[in-house]
């Protein structure tokens, strides 16, 4: 208490100035319309700015939760989109019939581990058999292809990344619909891949988009990337085409595991071809 009195005594002129300034300011604001309006506007700006900063920090702290909700919403929208693009829905014109023809279901998963600098890269997800994930399912992101489920435990799964020397995905060119095999290994660059087995008579333009063909584990029409170099000789009658991948592997957070409801039926039917041969 003694120290407080010493401080007040030592700086009494300053404190008196603050008190008189506050009183004068209050009287001016109270008795003058223009000054009162200016003071209110200034205080609103200060308070509004403070609230904006606080809300900004709050939003940042809840960003992970918001991203998870958006991922779930995107998965639901992908599934609903099939109701409108299923061929049977156009032919029959009946919404109820399309519900039986939906082929793909999307399981939202979060990336818990990821590698991009190795010859063979893998990704770990926080979803496993308890969530419906099975070996061999395709994995995509909001931007493109990610990889194929390799191993599964009750709560986790590992994915053989697209950035893997043994990954092969059927892909088609936007203009000609010509399909080939997408592989990785071009100087182990996480941003690029090669589209092989394209006949050399096919005209390919730079900037042309590349999509999944629908002949592999993935739904047709999923963006893979765009052509950045053409005319690379692949031997015999085929070309190799360099692709810039659309998936940002260095920043993967949420992905979608693709469950194909018709996969077992298709595999069983195709196995009969081997028996007949």
Q: Domain extents for the chain?
A: 2-61, 104-263
The CATH number of the structural domain formed by 104-263 is 2.40.10.340
Helices (H), 121-178: none
**Per-residue model confidence (pLDDT) at position 247:** 92
Query: Residue 135 and residue 149: Cα distance in Å, rounded?
Result: 5
**Per-residue model confidence (pLDDT) at position 96:** 37
Q: Are strands 209-212 and 223-233 parallel, antiparallel or unpaired?
A: antiparallel
Query: Residue 29 and residue 237: Cα distance in Å, rounded?
Result: 86
For 80-89, 91-100, 219-228, which range has the lowest pLDDT when averaged over its residues? Answer: 91-100
In the chain, the percentage of residues whose pLDDT exceeds 70 is 61
Which residue pairs, CB below 8 angstroms and at least 24 apart, start in 117-120? Answer: 117/188, 117/190, 118/188, 119/165, 119/185, 119/188, 120/160, 120/164, 120/165, 120/166
| Higher per-residue pLDDT: 236 or 84 | 236
Predicted model pTM: 0.66
**Per-residue model confidence (pLDDT) at position 121:** 94
**What three-state secondary structure class fits 180?**
strand
| Higher per-residue pLDDT: 190 or 276 | 190
| Higher per-residue pLDDT: 228 or 80 | 228
Mean per-residue pLDDT, 166-193? 90
């Amino acid at each position: 208490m003694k120290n407080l009195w010493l401080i007040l005594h030592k700086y009494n002129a300053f404190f008196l100035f603050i008190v008189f300034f506050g009183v004068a300011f209050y009287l001016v604001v109270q008795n003058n319309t223009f000054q009162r309006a200016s003071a209110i506007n200034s205080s609103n700006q200060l308070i509004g700015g403070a609230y904006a900063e606080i809300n900004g920090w709050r939003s940042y702290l809840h960003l992970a939760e918001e991203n998870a909700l958006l991922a779930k919403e995107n998965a639901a929208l992908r599934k609903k989109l099939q109701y409108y693009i299923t061929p049977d829905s156009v032919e029959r014109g009946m919404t109820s019939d399309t519900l039986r023809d939906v082929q793909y279901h999307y399981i939202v998963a979060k990336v818990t581990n990821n590698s991009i600098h190795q010859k063979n890269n893998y990704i770990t997800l926080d979803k496993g058999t308890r969530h419906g994930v099975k070996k061999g399912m395709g994995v995509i992101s909001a931007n493109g292809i990610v990889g194929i489920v390799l191993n599964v435990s009750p709560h986790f799964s590992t994915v053989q990344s697209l950035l893997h020397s043994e990954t092969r995905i059927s892909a088609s060119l936007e203009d000609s619909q010509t399909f080939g095999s997408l592989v990785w290994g071009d100087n182990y660059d996480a941003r690029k891949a090669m589209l092989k087995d394209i006949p050399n008579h096919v005209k390919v333009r730079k900037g042309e988009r590349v999509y999944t063909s629908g002949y592999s584990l993935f739904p047709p029409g999923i963006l893979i990337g765009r052509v950045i170099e053409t005319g690379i000789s692949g031997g015999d009658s085929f070309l190799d085409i360099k692709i810039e991948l659309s998936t940002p592997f260095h920043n993967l957070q949420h992905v979608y595991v693709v469950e194909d409801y018709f996969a077992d039926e298709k595999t069983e039917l195709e196995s009969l071809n081997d028996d007949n041969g």
